[in-house]
Structure 1
């Protein structure tokens, strides 16, 4: 993988073209090997001359991702990126986003990070467009390779021992620690199922009331500010950073600042007037929030070619 290949690929995607299947196969297979060998919770530090950008859901909104990169800069050896799941589904350019993120992971395996989201799963891909998009633009084998690679992705990233970044949220049991995440063998369970640590990491949401409550999604549960406070205190964390839900300003600080949501798909599904956001973190580990607006894209409705019916429910 080279920067020149990625630049050419980005331009092809902007112009509505695909890349040859042989390159698609190579990219997915190479990245699956890299991420399979990463721990379930990747642990990284931000060095003195480095900046980390944390991005939330992109959901196939390729042209908005291009705007994020235009505003904030492309990934480099000194500009790390972490994409916190839900790269695919709903938007109509999910293969483009997945291939671009994978190409950067192959190019910069130690400075470009990917967490799994609840949409990097077979059942969601079947309903919300990604499986159909893979078959329409490439073939069934491409979807199967992506499916295998999604199941190999890490579930969380620990940034400077201060911030736990994971797609959904916290747990039904207060006894869960970072060590439990470290010990979780995600390779024993390709799909998250209906219970357990993996499901909760991908699916849960914060609530304003203390304690825990039922999920509005029908999967997982909701956790209150007291749950977040205990988890952060027990594990020596300043905050958790999660995605998984639209926020009208692109991000939100909840639970006394200890639960931060970042969502990077502005004007989500062309139906919500939300901004997108990303978080920059420097070596001082201070969080800088940046908002951005959606940009025009070719006139293709979300998922219109790939899935039926059009379902715009929760992220």
Structure 2
């Protein structure tokens, strides 16, 4: 009896163990599938982000093209060259910009006292937590004072650490104020005993870029030897035009926004381009190339590079400045890759991809041990590559969508390995189950991908039909994926994504026109040709920047003559094949009151993508794997 009972218990125990192992294996597989879906969603976000940066690079070259071809149309009024590229001297007078702006008694926001102290940092933090806006008088004064100190600094700041004085390095913040608050909460405020390096991209994308910039600048003015600011590729007025900071400034400071933007352009140019820690760690925003020359970069006139997207023809030293310009672009835009060598950064359109061999070569040449950079969103907030010699640190959590990624910062101390600290600003969605959080990120990624697809509907349809020799309306999965990559150029796993983007029949063939089902571009002018509508939608960000630049008096209107002339240049430079008669017809329709002027910004805002049945999707419907 005893033996039988014992045997039964053993069998039950074995069964329970097997059941537990089955459940455990299932859960691990389930979690792995969710992580894979999250990874593919982040890949979509990043691919589209980099494609937009390519567009920004092309826009910059268009401005140069425009300067050479537009002057004959409106030579007297065209101020683009001066406005965008030619601010060669520090012409802005402090008296005009600060002293003439009074702070009224009715203003109940923070009042800064110069020279600044740590009390002002606390005052600013508390005010911004309450969503107060700092008065333009103080903003301009902080920017002027910051620029004055920055002008005295070298291109590379040298910092020493010790066991009693660790250094904290933060990556991209991109206007996400809650992340900066989280860093200060976890790691403490900047001070003589708690130094920081903020490694560029303080602004753009997020809603609180000016607040972050003010906190960093005030902290820098209080602790100029202990808080260090490196320039990122978004500390650039051309990038700000596309990615939100310009709009934020003009919205929050309607009266003095233009003055703030002008001072910012100068301040950006004086930001150091890197930090060297303990003579062995190089901290720069983007990366390096095989031609990176730190000795040259120590000597360049960094203030000559007003925009890293614009050609440096504003000085007589064209050849030298051009070389310096390209070296700085590499520093601000490059990305590491696992493949050896140095090759063009086709993803972003600027800088290069550099391999482990390039890292070893440059570090060895200058007796350095490590490169710390930012510039790329990482799911865990940081990533180590190139045999531990390259570290990426990214401090903006939830960068693409709630729950999309964690933020991180690094603490360095001489003689010890870097220590990483991760966090994620917790909103309501972060408390949801992993499945729901992944679905949220995934849905947002698929939404913007479908918008990119509908903006190229004519081109995609033409590519599909060329492959569809039998005119069946169907393609093999590989044919469909080939067309998607050829037209969109996003380097995505199209086969894996296909189940979320198109209908696939029982034989595995794609019904290719289902790529555009339940989504269309709303057009305010029904008479407009569909190809023209797609083109306007695809280039709407570029066009908005261009036409805002033409609108030199900021009236919100441009003349029909300006519209036609600029569109012809734009279509020529971008190789946009739209018949002039269509554009002329559209221009006449846009001139609603027939006064010869067009409110082009309002017109562009009327173009948006409509997603039908968007609210009907459920977490169990969308699966990337």
Same fold, TM exceeding 0.5?
A: yes
- In the alignment, what sits opposite 1:281? 412
Partner of 2:301: 185
Q: Distance in 2 between matches of 1:12 and 1:260?
A: 34
The corresponding residue for 2:125 is: 10
Structure 1 range deviating more: 279-288 or 83-92: 279-288
Alignment correspondent of 1:34: 149
Q: Which moved more, 1:255-264 or 1:266-275?
A: 266-275
Q: Please report the RMSD computed on the Cα atoms of aligned residues, expressed in angstroms.
A: 1.9
For the pair 1:95 / 2:214, whether they are aligned, the reply is no
Question: CA shift at 1:43, angstroms?
Answer: 1.3
2:401 is the alignment partner of 1:270: yes
Structure number having the greater helix percentage:
2
In the alignment, is residue 140 of structure 1 matched against residue 264 of structure 2?
no
Structure 1 residue 150 corresponds to structure 2 residue 268: yes
Distance 1:241 1:159 in 2: 10
Q: 1:44 aligns with which of 139, 159, 162?
A: 159
Unpaired runs of at least 5, structure 2: 1-115, 312-324, 429-544, 546-604, 609-625
**Distance in 2 between the 1:94 and 1:285 partners?**
34
Looking at structure 2, the residues matched to 180 and 270 of structure 1 have their Cα atoms a distance apart, in angstroms, of: 40
Distance 1:135 1:285, change over 3 A: farther
Displacement of 1:151 = 1.0
Q: Deviations over 1:235-260 (max 9, x none)?
A: 11111100000011101110001111
CA distance in 2, matches of 1:110, 1:285: 23
Shift of 1:295: 3.2
Contact 1:91 1:269 in 2 (8 A): no
Choose 1-10 or 236-245, whichever is displaced more: 1-10
1:51-87: CA deviations, max 9, x gaps? Answer: 1100000000001110111111111111100000000
Determine which structure has greater relative contact order: mean sequence separation of CA pairs < 8 Å that are 6+ residues apart, divided by chain length. Answer: 1
Which residue is equivalent to 1:127? 242
Q: Distance in 2 between matches of 1:283 and 1:241?
A: 15
Q: Which residue of 1 aligns with 2:54?
A: none
The gaps in structure 1 that reach 5 residues or longer are 298-306, 311-315
Q: How many angstroms apart in 2 are the aligned matches of 1:253 and 1:235? A: 21
Structure number, greater radius of gyration = 2
Checking the alignment, whether the CA contact within 8 Å between 1:156 and 1:166 is kept in structure 2 is yes
Q: CA deviation at 1:284?
A: 3.0
Match of 2:366 in 1: 235
The reply to whether residue 83 of structure 1 matches residue 198 of structure 2 is: yes
Q: 1:295 aligns with which of 418, 426, 430?
A: 426
* Secondary structure of the structure 2 residue equivalent to 1:140: helix
**Which residue in 2 is equivalent to 1:261?**
392
Partners of 2:270 and 2:303 within 8 A in 1: yes
Q: CA deviation at 1:233?
A: 0.9
Q: Is the 8 A contact 1:50 1:283 kept in 2?
A: no
Counterpart in the other structure of 2:334:
204
CA apart distance, 1:189: 2.3
Aligned to 2:349: 218
In structure 2, what is the Cα distance between the partners aligned to 1:269 and 1:52?
28
Contact 2:269 2:304 in 1 (8 A): no
Of Structure 1 and Structure 2, the greater strand share is in 1
CA contact (8 A) 1:210 1:227 kept: yes
SS at match of 1:200: helix
Residue aligned with 2:195, SS: strand
* Secondary structure of residue in 2 paired with 1:179: helix
